[in-house]
Structure formats: C-alpha cells, structure tokens
Amino acid sequence: SKWKRVWRSAVIAHVASSRSSGGSSSGRRARAVMYLPPCFDINKNSAMVESVLFDSLAFGESLMLDSIPNYRPFDLVITDATDYLDTLAVLDSITIGLGTPLAMVVAGVDDPGAYAPNPEGISTAIRLMSVPIPGDSANPADVQIVFANAVTDAPKVSIALQNGATLVDGISFGGAAEPVNLPPDNYTVEVRDSLTQQVITTFAMDLQNSAGKVLTKVLQGFVDPSANQNGAPLELGTVDAGTTIVTAIEDDVQPPVAQQFELLQNYPNPFNPTTRIDFRLPKQAHVKLDVFNVLGQQVATLVDGQLTAGTHSATFDASQHASGLYFYRLKADNEISKVRKMMLLK
C-alpha cells in the first residue's frame, strides 16, 4: 500500500498580544519557523532543518501548506512578522500523525496574565490546534461543517440554529466538535453557554452556494474585548476546503524499515484526556512501555509483551490523572531505554 508522507494543512492565525503597537491585540502579523530535527533514516548526523512555515499571517487569515511531514516531531517558533526577535511563542515537539487532513489553528494569547482567564481554567497560552477535516461530505448535496472554539475567554459553548436544533454542544477552548451536515441555505446560528444555554452572540451563516463543500468554522476573537486589551470581537471564521479538498499527498515509497529502536513524540501533545504513542522496532523484541509522573511514580503500563519488527502504537488514557507533566519510557529486551515527556492539560 502507498505511504502518505506529507500533510497539506490549512493554517489560521489567531494570535493576540498585549504588546501590539497598534493598540489592538489582534492587529499584529505573525511569522512561524519550523525546526525539524534530522531523520534517523535519512541522515542522523545532519543539522536541524529550519523552514519558514509562514512569513506574514494576520489574525483571521489562512493559507495552504504542503510541507509538514508526518510522524516527525518539530518545534514551531512564532514571532512578530516585522521583528523576528520578538518571540510570541515556542511550541515544542509537535507531531502530526496520519489520518484525515487538518486545519491547524494558532490560538491563544502571548501574555495570559494580561488577558481575561478562561472560565474553565484552561491555559490560554498560545497553542497549535489540530482540527480534523473530513475527506468529503457524507451527502454531496449537503454542506459538512466542523466547528472549533479558539476563544480564550469563552466558556464551553454550543452552536444552535436560531429557533431550531442544537448542532454541536460542549466545545471548550482549543477543542472541536464532530462534523455536522446541513442543506445549503441561509442560516442564523447562536453561540450559547453550554451550561446555562444563555446566548452569547448570533451569526449569519450563508451556505447557499456551499453544496458538497467541507468547511471548518472557527469561533475566534473575544467574548469581552474590553477585558482583553481591546481585541477583536467574536467572529466566525471559515476554512474552506472547497472543491480542491485538502488531502495528504500519497507517495509510492514504502515506510523505511527502522534501523534502531525509536520512541516517537506522543500525538496530540498537549492532550486531554487521551494521546497516542508510536514507536519503531528494527527487530522482534520484548517491549515495555510505561508512564511516570514528575515524582517518578509509575502510573500506567501501556505495553508489556513480545512484538514484531515495525511500527507500533499505544494509547494513554489520562482521564483519571491530574494535569501536568508526564514521562513515558520504552524498554526493549530490558536493554534499550528511551524516554520522552508529554503534557496533560485539562
């Protein structure tokens, strides 16, 4: 079978800052540089690759990318587009797996202390949201929509048709809902507090010419701009995959056979409450994959048994564990030991 090697992804800039010279927290343009470590199966002694992911992206803008490799952890440094020394955020060890295409949303604020806190207590620091985009609409006559919440000061929200059904419910900051299908039409939708069902705001949503499209609707801006450096008010942004649906590029090259034991960065990271851990074995081995907290206490054993050579994965469910830093360790035949860290954010 073919191996999907590279993602094409849509990226929306959603970076607010208290240091904006223009007086608006959403007025700055952002630049992002991806730092990709050398790949062991290509040249493990090569230098880290530096690649500009986007050079100048404003709040609410988006662009298509086709240069993000899968299963290769990379660091992302986001700076002011006009001053590369003005760092807004450093996002470590981002890994994108295979599956559906993504809308990647840069969300959050560069100085959480200068903005209103999230009502659910979720960190509002800048993050990279990965929102899956369905491959196509379940019904070609309908419009398929994925709603995402990139509003730092919003409670858990629901999206409902005015005087109609609730489309999605319970989307926290940084999260996205399952896709919904709607017939092409002109709608008015309400954004509500999921707990109280109080209407926060109302948007017009014109889908009359969107039959067969797959859209990602991103709630962005602030519920209360006056408490957030006079930033942008609530908006409903759109990533339109359109007729040229975002998709992974297929390559006839087969996955390389692992030359060494390799423990990959978990995905997603940070996560809540589950994450996937992949690892590669160059030969058959007895494998043990354990998770530890910051005190060094073992909190889970994900794998303990004989495995064949190749790529394997395990899922860590942290629903019963507290937020914080965790470590996971891979041992093969009681000799090889690899350790990585991951962050649980609830």
| Predicted local distance difference test score (pLDDT) of residue 171 | 96
**Residue 274, amino acid:** T
How many domains in the chain? 2
The stretch 230-255 carries a mean pLDDT of 54
Same domain, 173 and 317: no
Question: Looking at per-residue confidence, does 60 or 193 come out higher?
Answer: 193
List strand residue ranges (DSSP E) for 20-100, in order.
Answer: 29-36, 49-58, 62-69, 74-80, 83-94
51 pLDDT band, cuts 50/70/90, is low
The stretch 291-309 carries a mean pLDDT of 90
Same domain, 327 and 195: no
Same domain, 279 and 208: no
pLDDT above 60 (res 282): yes
205 pLDDT band, cuts 50/70/90, is very high
280 pLDDT band, cuts 50/70/90, is confident
Q: Does a structural domain hold residue 249?
A: no
Please check whether residue 102 is in contact with residue 9, taking contact to mean a CB–CB distance below 8 angstroms.
yes
116 pLDDT band, cuts 50/70/90, is very high
Domain with 324 in it: 262-344
Q: Does a structural domain hold residue 51?
A: yes
| Predicted local distance difference test score (pLDDT) of residue 268 | 84
User: Residue 124 class from Cβ within 10 Å (0-12 exposed, 13-18 middle, 19+ buried)?
Assistant: buried
Gap between the Cα atoms of 16 and 234, Å rounded:
13
pLDDT above 60 (res 186): yes
Q: Does a structural domain hold residue 248?
A: no
pLDDT above 70 (res 271): yes
Same domain, 34 and 103: yes
Same domain, 20 and 118: yes
| Predicted local distance difference test score (pLDDT) of residue 115 | 92
Average pLDDT, the chain: 75
Same domain, 55 and 152: yes
Question: Looking at per-residue confidence, does 56 or 304 come out higher?
Answer: 304
Q: What is the CATH number of the domain that holds 313?
A: 2.60.40.1930
Same domain, 210 and 287: no
Same domain, 186 and 87: yes
Global pTM value: 0.59
Torsion of the alpha carbons at 205, 209, 212 and 218, rounded to the nearest 10: -30
Same domain, 281 and 133: no
Please check whether residue 222 is in contact with residue 18, taking contact to mean a CB–CB distance below 8 angstroms.
no
Q: Does a structural domain hold residue 245?
A: no
| Predicted local distance difference test score (pLDDT) of residue 109 | 85
User: Residue 76 class from Cβ within 10 Å (0-12 exposed, 13-18 middle, 19+ buried)?
Assistant: buried
| Predicted local distance difference test score (pLDDT) of residue 319 | 93
50 pLDDT band, cuts 50/70/90, is low
Same domain, 65 and 155: yes
Gap between the Cα atoms of 139 and 179, Å rounded:
12
Question: Looking at per-residue confidence, does 46 or 80 come out higher?
Answer: 80
Question: Looking at per-residue confidence, does 22 or 236 come out higher?
Answer: 236
| Predicted local distance difference test score (pLDDT) of residue 55 | 66
